[in-house]
Amino acid sequence: MKYLVALSLLFAVVGCRDSRKPGIEYAPQMYTSIPYEPYSQVAYNANTKDGRNVMMPVAGTVARGKEAYYYPYPATDEGYQAAGTELKNPLEPTAEVLAAGKKLYNVQCVHCHGEKGDGQGTLNTSKSYEGIVPDYKVRLPTINAGKAFHTITHGKGAMGAHAYALSPAERWQLVTYIYSLIADAPPAQAGAPAAAAEEKK
């Protein structure tokens, strides 16, 4: 018994000699998994290209169910113009779509753009936004649904990007809703409402 106690004391002292080394781990497979875990890894993985357990998706692949999140138009003027000509609003202005759009609008947009879309949101009283939020009645006929979608996605001027907070479907609901806010609105379908507005004059 005496020797046993002495021996374990010796181990205890010797075992803690270098505080920078973890010492011997008992049953390490209890702490680190033998199967490959995507988010925890203690050793280089010889079976993957970059040594990581979790591999990068193949270039150009789109995750299942995320097709709509693939947005090819960059946050540049070219991207804005291209979105304006190529994007089509997939939604019809049904009561359901408009109600969903209104709900989102009252959370994400109303403080700047105002309840009626006239640019008189509560933030308009602050110096930084005073006078720069457009009146939809004036602005929307000069752009189109694709451009509006692009602006909501990437932001424009003092308006921030909203892609992080709104799914593509929600952004289209908003586009449909804001076009419904202006009287004799050009249809919230893409195309060239600017030209349509021109014809009306």
154 is a contact residue toward ligand HEC (CB under 6 A)? no
State in angstroms the smallest separation of the CB of 165 from ligand HEC. 8
Q: Which CB, 45 or 155, lies closer to ligand HEC?
A: 155
Q: Which stretch binds ligand HEC (CB under 6 A): 4-12, 31-39, 63-71, 129-137?
A: 129-137
- Given candidates 7, 62, 99, 158, which one binds ligand HEC under the rule CB under 6 A? 158
Contacts of 63 (CB under 8 A, 6+ apart): 57, 69
Contacts of 38 (CB under 8 A, 6+ apart): 53, 54
Distance, CA of 166 to CA of 68 (rounded, Å) = 12
Structure tokens at 149: 């979608």
Binders of ligand HEC among 61-120, rule CB under 6 A?
108-109, 111-113
- Given candidates 82, 116, 135, 159, which one binds ligand HEC under the rule CB under 6 A? 159
State in angstroms the smallest separation of the CB of 159 from ligand HEC. 3
- Given candidates 162, 182, 190, 193, which one binds ligand HEC under the rule CB under 6 A? 162
Distance, CA of 3 to CA of 1 (rounded, Å) = 5
Nearest partner of 117 among 188, 169, 165, 167, judged by Cα: 188
State in angstroms the smallest separation of the CB of 62 from ligand HEC. 24
Distance, CA of 137 to CA of 116 (rounded, Å) = 10
Residues that bind ligand HEC (CB under 6 A): 108-109, 111-113, 123, 129, 132-134, 139, 143, 147-148, 151-152, 156-159, 162, 174, 178
